[in-house]
């Protein structure tokens, strides 16, 4: 492509001769260019949605760890281990276990199998923790 300088720090692109500028990019228009651009935009939107989900998931897990740590007087690493144990013993994804624990802290309702495993895991971790001093 032919490029010219209109100012020392600004580059202006000239379209190819005979090509109509695209409404959004200033480049050649056409079904192929539009499909490629739409595909790239869709891919980026998908990545953004996945990143948002990941951030949300981490926030919920961190909140649940905080609840477990506060209840049992554990370290954060032990709180994460408690969530992992509950997940493994109940065959529920850790993120969903975290959501249920956060909801329990708000409503007071927790399924009995999860409550039993939570109590068991917290008790086990608390007894394994060395006494300070």
Give me the average pLDDT of each 10-residue run along the chain (133 residues): 46 51 52 81 83 77 95 92 96 95 96 94 79 57
CB 29, CB 21: distance < 8 Å: yes
Ramachandran class of 5: left when φ > 0, alpha when ψ lies in -120 to 50, beta otherwise: beta
pLDDT at 2: 45
pLDDT at 87: 96
**pTM, to two decimals:** 0.61
Q: Which two tokens stand for residue 23?
A: 């409404």
Residue (of 76, 79, 91) closest to 118 by Cα position: 79
Tell me phi and psi for residue 6, to 5 degrees: -95, -20
pLDDT at 112: 94
Q: Look at the alpha carbons of 109, 97, 127, 106 in this order and tell me if their dihedral is positive or negative.
A: negative
């Amino acid at each position: 492509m032919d490029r010219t300088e209109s100012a020392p720090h600004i580059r202006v692109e000239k379209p190819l001769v005979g090509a109509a500028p695209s409404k959004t990019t200033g480049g050649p228009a056409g079904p192929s260019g539009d499909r490629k651009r739409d595909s790239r935009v869709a891919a980026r939107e998908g990545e953004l949605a996945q990143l948002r989900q990941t951030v949300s998931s981490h926030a919920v897990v961190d909140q649940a760890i905080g609840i477990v740590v506060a209840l049992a007087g554990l370290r954060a690493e032990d709180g994460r281990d408690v969530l992992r144990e509950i997940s493994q013993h109940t065959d529920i994804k850790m993120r969903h276990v975290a959501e249920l624990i956060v909801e329990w802290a708000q409503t007071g309702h927790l399924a009995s199998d999860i409550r039993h495993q939570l109590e068991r895991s917290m008790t086990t971790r608390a007894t394994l923790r060395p006494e300070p001093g």
